[in-house]
Structure 1
Amino acid sequence: MTEQEYDYESLGENTAMIHNALAGALAGIAEHCAMYPVDSIKTRMQVIQTSTTTMQPTLTLNGNANSFKNLWRGVNSVVLGAGPAHALHFATYEFCKDFYVAHGQGHHVLASAAAGATATLAHDTLMNPFDVIKQRMQLRDSTYRSVRECARTVFAKEGWVAFYISLPTTLAMSVPFQSVQFATYEYFRKVLNPSGGYDPSTHVVAGGLAGAIASSVTTPLDVIKTLLQTRGQSQDARIRQATGFMEAATIIKERYGLRGFFRGFKPRVLTHMPSAAISWSVYEYFKWLMRSSYGQDQPAALLL
């Protein structure tokens, strides 16, 4: 397919921002829901008070028939938050790609990274409270039966600060994570598909590689974030009183040494690699699908 037949990358300029937002919302929901059980395992492995050190004990939980079902606790919080947060994320990203001139021929790694970082600031500010609720419900000993109950209880006991105490750490993790992910995705996408046309296999491979690389280098920050977001459920008084990044990092270092910052490394990578592949594939597909609604004929095979 030639560029004249299908100017795919012109979508960011020729479609309304609402289309990028809708594609992003659908991509975010698909990404988080598909790998949610593995994300629950990662959270439980990272929480300091748990004795879980491998994936198998976490999967068996209490040995009952509902063990796998319990790994889905809190998924409603992700659905509620991921839709609008990812809509804002991808809409901001597309706008910033144009603003930072990340489109066009050649590799624009820094511009793509800057666009990803800017989009992350908007996304995480909106998503952080939902992420706190999600992680509280993911805990092995969680007794919350609904997102509403969890949010109300956390607010009553800890106030608004509980929903945002981890935001600085979240941004410290997410900005480099998304910068690396967006930059590596755009790089691999252009290497694998120089023409820039819609190609599902390219989006899957580039997205998977981007997710694996980004999650690998930011795992230590994710461990710190998890401690801060779940501190209210801890039986350890020192953890409950942790007030920020440095104190949380000190606790982890004292208890587990440098290895402590890589708790949950494998399930984190196993979560983000397919999640990123799913997210980018869904996002790029709906970008292409919405553009086709503008009346430009596309080969029917691409709809399969």
Structure 2
Amino acid sequence: MKILEKMISNEKEWVFYAKNLLAGGVAGCCAKSTIAPLDRVKILLQARHKQYLNLGVWSSIHHVVDTEGFTALYKGNGAMMVRIFPYGAIQFTTYEWFKQKTKRKLLSGSLAGMCAVITTYPLDMVRARLAYQVKGQHLYRGIFHAAQSIWQQEGRLRALYRGVTPTLIGMIPYAGTAFYSYEVAKSFIITNGPVYLTRTSTTDSNVQMLTPLANLMAGAFAGAVAQTISYPLDVVRRMMQLGEMVPHYTRSSLEILTYVFKKYGMRGLYRGLTINYLRAVPTAAVSFTVYEYMKEVLDVQTRK
């Protein structure tokens, strides 16, 4: 009897995490597809591409469309989708696991983000390279060619993980703050918010949930807080990923951070922050909202 109970329990665990993987993957893809054009322009601005040095966010978008066509706004998005499904799946699922084991939301978010980064980082590297290319200056033909070239010409696996250190360092405050801020906002709205921002779960009448509007609000708040804290390390990460494609290439994240600060000041470390707000806030909003919706559709019971 005990063996049977254990088998049933293990099956329930497996089903719970399998559903979470699917919910997280779908949430990540929906979120990133929403802001793909802004994501590409952000990379061009962060790394100071010579064609975009004197352009702002909206003028950069117009320039991309005028010189490369509308579909160029989604350049590198194929690599992003290949990366973001497992990224979202791993991040949300490991967050649920760590939250159950540690009971600490801030720590659980940080650990979940780090797990997702380590697993999918090479695809983020490839996506950055593809997005940085402009018409007439293509080094890579696609995802596989970019990955193969980096592997063969720049140092194999180590090259594919260039910039992972500042990414992981930045992920600690980013993911931790994002998940924690969302949980706090969600709890506050359910407890103290107006009635029209909450509803009863369709799968459990004892569970109160946020409406889609409230979920978007809580997710947007979480994204804004997290991005403000971690943005300078995101700049360093992008410049390390692009390597010799940028003129001030160095191998050390500290050297890049020092270089940017000395040459451009604090303003340089936050160059592109406006576009990051425009992309990160809706990304977090859509991500958390779709994740909550998918959990309800798949009847995933939230664990404390």
TM-score normalised per structure 1: 0.83
Aligned-residue offset at 1:91: 0.9
| 1:115 aligns with one of 108, 117, 124 | 108
Aligned counterparts of 1:258 and 1:227: Cα–Cα separation in 2? 16
**Per the alignment, do residues 59 and 49 of structure 1 end up closer, same or farther by CA in structure 2, a change over 3 Å counting?**
closer
Q: Name the residue aligned to 1:33.
A: 33
Whether the 8 Å CA contact 1:24–1:86 is kept in 2: the answer is yes
Q: Name the residue aligned to 2:17.
A: 17
Tell me the percent identity.
26
Whether the 8 Å CA contact 1:193–1:202 is kept in 2: the answer is no
Q: Say which is worse superposed, 59-68 or 135-144, in terms of deviation.
A: 59-68
Aligned counterparts of 2:42 and 2:276: Cα–Cα separation in 1? 6
| 1:133 aligns with one of 112, 126, 145 | 126
Q: Name the residue aligned to 1:156.
A: 152
| 1:165 aligns with one of 159, 162, 165 | 162
Aligned counterparts of 2:232 and 2:242: Cα–Cα separation in 1? 16
Whether the 8 Å CA contact 1:158–1:232 is kept in 2: the answer is no
Aligned-residue offset at 1:126: 1.3
More helix per residue: 2
Across the aligned residues of Structure 1 and Structure 2, the Cα RMSD in angstroms comes to 2.1
Aligned-residue offset at 1:202: 2.1
Q: Name the residue aligned to 2:143.
A: 147
Aligned counterparts of 1:78 and 1:278: Cα–Cα separation in 2? 16
Deviation track 1:58-92 (CA, whole Å, cap 9, x = no partner) reads 22336736433212111111111111121111111
Q: Name the residue aligned to 2:251.
A: 243
| 2:244 aligns with one of 232, 238, 246 | 232
Aligned counterparts of 2:78 and 2:262: Cα–Cα separation in 1? 35
**Per the alignment, do residues 196 and 245 of structure 1 end up closer, same or farther by CA in structure 2, a change over 3 Å counting?**
farther
**Per the alignment, do residues 205 and 63 of structure 1 end up closer, same or farther by CA in structure 2, a change over 3 Å counting?**
closer
Whether the 8 Å CA contact 1:47–1:226 is kept in 2: the answer is yes
| 1:95 aligns with one of 93, 97, 101 | 97
Aligned counterparts of 2:184 and 2:209: Cα–Cα separation in 1? 15
Give the unaligned 5+ runs of structure 2: 1-11, 192-206
Structure 1 residue identity aligned to 2:113:
T
Aligned-residue offset at 1:49: 4.5
Deviation track 1:96-147 (CA, whole Å, cap 9, x = no partner) reads 111122xxxxxxxxx1111101101110001211111111111143513311
Q: In the alignment, does 2:268 pair up with 1:260? A: yes
Whether the 8 Å CA contact 1:190–1:196 is kept in 2: the answer is no
Whether the 8 Å CA contact 1:20–1:87 is kept in 2: the answer is yes
SS at match of 2:48: coil
Q: In the alignment, does 2:212 pair up with 1:200? A: yes
Aligned counterparts of 1:88 and 1:124: Cα–Cα separation in 2? 9
What is the 5 A alignment of 1:205-216?
Answer: 205-216=217-228
Aligned-residue offset at 1:217: 1.9
**Per the alignment, do residues 204 and 63 of structure 1 end up closer, same or farther by CA in structure 2, a change over 3 Å counting?**
closer
SS at match of 1:135: helix
Aligned-residue offset at 1:197: 2.4
Tell me the matched-pair count.
269
Aligned counterparts of 2:142 and 2:154: Cα–Cα separation in 1? 18
Aligned counterparts of 1:73 and 1:226: Cα–Cα separation in 2? 16
Whether the 8 Å CA contact 1:23–1:287 is kept in 2: the answer is yes
Deviation track 1:216-247 (CA, whole Å, cap 9, x = no partner) reads 2211111111111112312x2xx33x122111
Give the unaligned 5+ runs of structure 1: 1-11, 102-110, 295-304
**Per the alignment, do residues 95 and 253 of structure 1 end up closer, same or farther by CA in structure 2, a change over 3 Å counting?**
same
Structure 2 residue identity aligned to 1:157:
Q
Aligned counterparts of 1:275 and 1:63: Cα–Cα separation in 2? 22
TM-score normalised per structure 2: 0.83
Aligned counterparts of 1:122 and 1:89: Cα–Cα separation in 2? 7
